[in-house]
Structure formats: C-alpha cells, structure tokens
Amino acid sequence: MKRTIMTGLGLAICAYMTIAAGSPLDALAYESGTVVNGATVQGKITFTGTVPEPKTFELRRYYDREYCAALSDGKGHRLLREVNVGQDGGLKDVVVVIEGIEKGKPFTFTDAEVEASLCQFLPFVTVVSDKRRVTVFNRDPVSHDIQGYAYDQSGVDIVLHRPALHVSGTTDMVQLVKGRKVFTMQCGMHPYMQNWGYAIDNPYYAVTGPNGAFTIGDLPVGTYRIKAWHPILGAQEREITVKPNEAFTVDFLFEANQSVK
C-alpha cells in the first residue's frame, strides 16, 4: 500500500509510543526457552540519494495554532520530517525483525504507552503487538483526536478511536485485524502529529537510531528471513543462515524513490 492511501484519509498520526518488556501474555505462536550458543545478527541501515524535504503544515489552518506554534519554523509552519538520516548516512526509524521464528529467548511484551507533548509524538516509529493495550497520555492543555489504523496492501481498518483525548488519557485494547503488521495512530485535529508502528511476534527485533545500526542477539542456529521496514521508504528482506556463536553481519541500503510496502 502506498503512503498516499493514508494521506487520502485526511488524517495524521497522533501518538508517542514506547514498548518495553513484561506482559504476562506472550505471543501464542512463540515458545520462550533457553538459547545455547546463540548467534548475533548485526548491521547498519543506510540511505542514499536526496533526503526528502519535510512536509509543511500551515498552523493557521488547524486547531490550537498558538499553542502548537511552540515548535514551529518561526514562519507559521509545523514541519514533519518523515525520513531522518544521520551525518554518516545512517537511516533512523527502521524496524528490523527476524520473521517466522517460533522458539528462542524469552519474549514478554508490555502495553504501549503513548504520550502527546507540545503537539508532537515520539518516537516516529516503534513496535507494537497484536491484542495488547495502548495507554495514551495527553501532556498538552489541548485535546487530541486519536485514531488508530491497521493496514496492508489489501486494505485498511480502524482499530482505535478516541475523539476527545483529555489529560486523563485512555487505555484501549488494540487488535491488528486480518494479520496486518502496520499500525498507525493519527490525530484528526493536528495532521503534523504522526507515528507508525510495526507489529512483532517474537523478541528478535530492533529499531534503528540516528546511526542506523542494529544488533539482535541470542538467535538460535538456523536459517531465517530478516526484514528491514521503514514506513515511508518501504521494506527489504534477506535470507540469512547463522551458526553457533556467530556474529553475522547484514546491511540494508534504502533509496529516496522507495515507497511503503
């Protein structure tokens, strides 16, 4: 599905999401155990080409323009930078996952905590998990219209809607219907507030920082598919085979003309 499908909905994400470990509900398809002589997969995600310009939003067109102007460009605009590249070409906000693994190191997953502050929502990209609760906190003195969607190339479904989020916040169970992996939370009142999530079902994942590097440890010996996913630039997959105690390196290169898959 192209990025324009979500744009056509006339909405943008409204969520700060952080995911940690500790839920009593492990993924049903995954069996936690002890990994002996596990391997480490490491690498770097880099970007080549011209970095896309940030999207520009005129504050006067939207609610709460005076308050949200705290992070403006000084000319009455909010900027949304969807592709963030470090000085050495490292690509930030890429979710790297080992897919299809059914048994390995312990996997626990807490609820997501979502925080709105100064009309921005960070991180821009995180991980989510099916049938887990999402708690949204509003640190702003203004209201937000929370709308969450799960989608893929076959379609899109709304999975969360709280039209008037106040300081008290909200906690909701989110089900990513039809096995969809991509989750987006949006604010219908402030379209420059956006966040993306990619669903995981095992503990073998990482989200890249500004240098684009990632490390995934304690992987059982075997052959796997590794995916690198970015909400704007799309996804790439490789097949890897790891040996006992091996440090396996795999790198990914994203280009400016790629789109969401």
Lowest mean pLDDT among 4-8, 85-89, 199-203: 4-8
pLDDT over 90 percentage in the chain: 57
pLDDT in tens, 6-25: 443 333 333 333 333 333 34
pTM, to two decimals: 0.85
pLDDT in tens, 205-254: 999 999 999 999 999 999 999 999 999 999 999 999 999 999 999 999 99
| Cis preceding linkage at 123, omega within 30 | yes
CB-CB contact of 231 with 260 (8 Å) = yes
pLDDT in tens, 156-167: 999 988 888 777
Fold for domain 3-21+35-255?
A: Immunoglobulin-like (2.60.40)
Q: What is the residue extent of each domain of the chain?
A: 3-21+35-255
pLDDT over 70 percentage in the chain: 87
Residue 51, CA distances (Å) to 45, 78, 81, 84, 258 in order: 14, 18, 10, 8, 12
Q: How far is CA 241 from the centre of its chain?
A: 26
- The yes-or-no verdict on residue 26 having pLDDT over 50 is no
Residue with tokens 């989510």: 128
